[in-house]
Structure 1
Amino acid sequence: MKKITTTITLLVLFSLSVSANLQSIQVEVKGKGKPVLLLPGFTCTGDVWNETVAEISETNECHIVTYAGFGNVPALDTLWLQTIKQDLDMYIEQNKFEDLSIIGHSMGGTLALWLASDKKHDIKNLLVVDALPCMGALMIPNYSSETITYDTPYARNLLSMSDSDFSGMAMNFAKFMCKNTSKHEQIANWIKISDRKTYVHGYFDLLKIDLRKSLSKIDIPVRILAAANPSKSMVENAYNEQYALLDNKDVIYIENSAHFIMYDQYDVYIENVKQILE
């Protein structure tokens, strides 16, 4: 009897340990078929994939991720982006996925590249939607990840900003990142309800990530949808430079689209989704 009790206790402790280790992500599963991991961008919840899931869930098992600090998922009091990456590794391992496809938008695309470059998993292909392996290098002159810290005037200003001012900023960002006016309120609301510390420190976590050299380790097909905003000529050099070491890639520039390609040019976007899944 004592041995049985001990076994049950160990199983419970293991279950609790696994649950704790996956606290940085919440995953909803819909559909049946070949597995697809859907990774949203910064501040977005898994609802950003609603239209995508409606289209593909009849033939694909969709694993829809929301990150800690966004939507209704409690924030973390630890390293944010690194913990998300570790939990995604564990989630893939626990589910024993075979021929996994990953679709990632923005930060989710960067995470998809990170997962593939580690070569730990049986990943079939990636669809990267308007994402770069090193966003910081695009924004910061003389970029060096070691010099990026949480304690900056910009960070302190965001942390102390009033809810009203933060809401106004969120709507301005939504209008800049999406041409589809019907989606502005939703995008702005995702920003507004995000945990403020996660929003600030998580953004700096993302700026520190530099995967440009690691791309040489990826040998699976990677399709990249790039928003040609304001024009292809304005963004093409950045994509050529950042993805220079990725051999097996197909970069498609999407005209008349801002950052949220799945909202601005849905038909072109979903056609590419179907192609990589088929």
Structure 2
Amino acid sequence: MKNVILLCIAFVFSVSIYAQNESQPIHVKVTGKGNPVILIPGFTVPGDIWNPLVKKLENNYECHIVTLAGFGGKAPIEFPWLPKVNQSLKNYIVKNDLQNATIIGHSLGGTIATWLATQKEIKLSKIIVVDALPASGALMIPNFNPENIVYESPYNKQQLAMDDAAFAQLATGMSKGMSLKASAQEQIKNWILQADRKTYVYGYTDYFKLDLREDLKNISIPVSIIAASKPYGSEMVKQTYNNQYKNLKNYNFILAENSAHFIMLDQPSWFLEQVQMILSSK
């Protein structure tokens, strides 16, 4: 009887721990001292990607390094995923009184940074958007309409049903377009494979539904955009960003030549210099 009771206690404890993990849309590591900088990675990517930048910043800035639920070994959460991530980051900023923080976000992280900049309840200093758009779905999906983007789609079902070998092939193909370096492509592929599959599939659905183009009118803080020139070429990239960000009153646009989506991996020294210059500017 005693053993049964102990087993029941252990079961309840394990369920409790799992529930706590499930309830955490974001996981944040804090290091350094000074003005707060929040670093949000891209889709499937752990916060560790910011380590080289953090080493440069932590002597002068308090760095809040974010990893999102379902990625980087973190437990998944219930859906909808992205709205919970966004709200949790907003709550984190308010709870920790991160007044005049700077947010640096890559890809999805840049889109999240843009969303946070539209929120009246928090006062940010500036945001740095790294190869990110306010409405990625509008670029990727013909006849874009957020209402038509749903979890239960043939494409999502196909991805969820893929065996490991087929999904690894998909991840390999995706990674090759995201960096110019073979070593970085391998790392990106591994991040995709390590991600919770359901978060990967449905998280993209959340991502593509988000359209912040009209909300850009509500942003008054300085915005710097660092955009990759590859694989589409400088002129097409400039045109895409001009179209997507046309409702933003003012922004500083910086083109990363000879770089694909993961600019911090393709042009690491240049990227660190750009971010430090933006942070030091008024």
TM-score (norm 2): 0.89
**In structure 1, how many angstroms separate the alpha carbons of the residues matched to 2:101 and 2:21?**
24
Give 3-state SS (helix, strand or coil) of 1:103's partner.
strand
Answer yes or no: is the 8 Å Cα contact 2:99–2:123 preserved in 1. Answer: yes
- Distance in structure 2 (CA, Å) of the matches to 1:211 and 1:44: 22
Q: CA deviation at 1:263?
A: 0.8
Distance 1:111 1:33 in 2: 23
Cα RMSD, aligned residues only = 1.5
Distance across 2 between alignment mates of 1:89 and 1:146? 24
The 8 Å contact of residues 216 and 248 in structure 2, kept in 1 or not, is answered as yes
Instruction: Please give the alpha-carbon distance, in whole angstroms, between the structure 2 residues aligned to 1:185 and 1:41.
Output: 16
User: 2:126 is matched with which residue?
Assistant: 125
Alignment of 1:56-95 (within 5 A): 56-95=57-96
SS at match of 2:33: coil
**2:51 and 2:164 mapped to 1: Cα distance?**
28
Where 1:118 maps in the other structure, the secondary structure is coil
Deviation at 1:267, TM superposition (A): 2.2
- Higher mean C-alpha displacement, 21-30 vs 97-106: 21-30
Deviation per residue, 1:38-62 (Å, 9 max, x gap): 0000000001111111111111111
Aligned residue number for residue 147 of structure 1: 148
1:104-115 paired onto structure 2 within 5 Å: 104-115=105-116
Cα deviation digits, residues 41-89 of structure 1 (max 9, x gap): 0000001111111111111111010111111211012310000011001
- Aligned partners of 1:20 and 1:247: how far apart in 2? 40
- Could you tell me how far apart the structure 1 residues matched to 2:23 and 2:35 are? 23
Distance 1:100 1:22, change over 3 A: farther
For residues 125 and 205 of structure 2, what CA distance do their matches in structure 1 show? 30
- Structure 2 partner of 1:158: 159
| 1:39–1:102 contact (8 Å) kept in structure 2 | yes
Alpha-carbon distance between aligned partners in 2 of 1:111 and 1:22, rounded to the nearest angstrom: 19
CA contact (8 A) 1:148 1:208 kept: yes
List 4+ stretches of structure 1 deviating above 4 A: 19-22
Counterpart residue number, 1:234:
236
| Matched residue SS, 2:24 | coil
Structure 1: 5+ residue stretches without partners? 1-15
Judge conservation of contact 1:101–1:126 (CA < 8 Å) in 2. Answer: yes
User: Which moves more between the two structures, 100-109 or 232-241?
Assistant: 232-241
Match in the other structure for 2:55 = 54
**In 2, Cα distance between the equivalents of 1:155 and 1:59?**
44
1:160-192 CA deviation, whole Å, 9 max, x = no partner?
001111112212211210112222222111100
Indicate the SS of the match to 1:187: helix
Q: Which residue of 2 aligns with 1:11?
A: none
Equivalent residue for 1:205? 206
Q: Provide the rounded CA distance (Å) in 2 between the counterparts of 1:122 and 1:268.
A: 29
Q: TM-score, normalised by structure 1?
A: 0.91
Match of 2:192, as an amino acid?
A: I
Which letter does structure 1 place at the counterpart of 2:87? Q
Please point out which of 255, 259, 264 is paired with 2:266: 264
Unaligned runs of 5+ in 2: 1-16
Judge conservation of contact 1:134–1:209 (CA < 8 Å) in 2. yes
Match of 1:13 in 2: none
Residue identity (%):
48
1:20 deviates by: 7.8
Amino acid at match of 2:26: I
Q: Which letter maps to 1:236?
A: K
